[in-house]
Amino acid sequence: MDLRVENLSHRYDDLDVLRDIDLEIKTGEIVCVIGPSGCGKSTLLRLLGGLEQPSEGQVLQVGEPPAGSLNPLTYVFQDFALLPWRSVEGNVSLVLEGHNLPAEEMEARIADVLSRTRLSDFRKAVPKQLSGGMKQRVAIARALSVNPAVLLMDEPLSALDSQTRELLMDDLIDLWEREKFTACYITHNLAEAVRLGHKVVVLSRRPGVIREIVHIDMPLTERNLSNPQIAAIQQQLWEMMRAEAAAADTELADS
């Protein structure tokens, strides 16, 4: 299933947040969205997921979700959103419990996603026993358990230290190589965008409009900042954002 955004604009009272967004997220690709603070990145994700309705325009789901999909659109947040009194398997099962699944299917889904995210040995652990990176892997496993068509990822690595962030990017790349999942990935981190994005959408400061869409035609497994092509793309993205990021920070401080 693809997501297609057509002529989307959004405002809160007199505050224009997004304007005239046209975007397509195709099956099997990771689309990263970057932009200065306050440009509407997270608002765009809420509109994609149907948590808010756009002031103008529309978000279309094109095609059918995968077989066995319980939620076509599923979120992964930066703060993990785990229940501290539930085990790893209990946190994963939470999103399955309202679907009246047979016990055997629920157990099969839990076992499958824990295996895919390398958490099988930790299924009985509670969140306080896990590192930050493992907590986020639980959140990803929980999202995958409903077999979504599109993962909506809102700065999922921003709460992690740099070393853990690098390891989790490796995990996401390994997962994508095996499963070719579809995602819209919001980030303020340019290194994440060039490591993970098949295309990178650059938003202007508020009201956010698409300044450019940068396509990166290189296998995810070959991307690192020691690669001159990847380093050049990151620098290109920063040059697009530098002046607007400074202006956005000033606007936020003034407000």
Q: Tell me: the pLDDT tens digits for 175-232?
A: 999 989 999 999 999 999 999 999 999 999 889 999 999 999 999 999 887 889 999 9
Instruction: Using pLDDT thresholds of 50, 70 and 90, give the confidence band for residue 251.
Output: low
pLDDT of residue 255 exceeding 60, the answer is no
Question: In angstroms, rounded to a whole number, what is the distance separating the alpha carbons of residues 245 and 147?
Answer: 36
Instruction: Using pLDDT thresholds of 50, 70 and 90, give the confidence band for residue 253.
Output: low
The CATH code for residues 2-254 is 3.40.50.300
> Which tens digits make up the pLDDT trace of 60-106?
999 999 888 999 999 998 888 899 999 999 999 999 998 999 999 99
- pLDDT, residue 80, reads 85
Neighbours of 19 (CB within 10 A): 20
> Which tens digits make up the pLDDT trace of 110-129?
999 999 999 999 999 999 99
CA angle 66-69-72, nearest 5°?
A: 90
Question: In angstroms, rounded to a whole number, what is the distance separating the alpha carbons of residues 87 and 129?
Answer: 10
Query: To which residue do tokens 């047979």 refer?
Result: 102
Angle between helices 162-179 and 132-144 (to 10 degrees): 30
- pLDDT, residue 249, reads 59
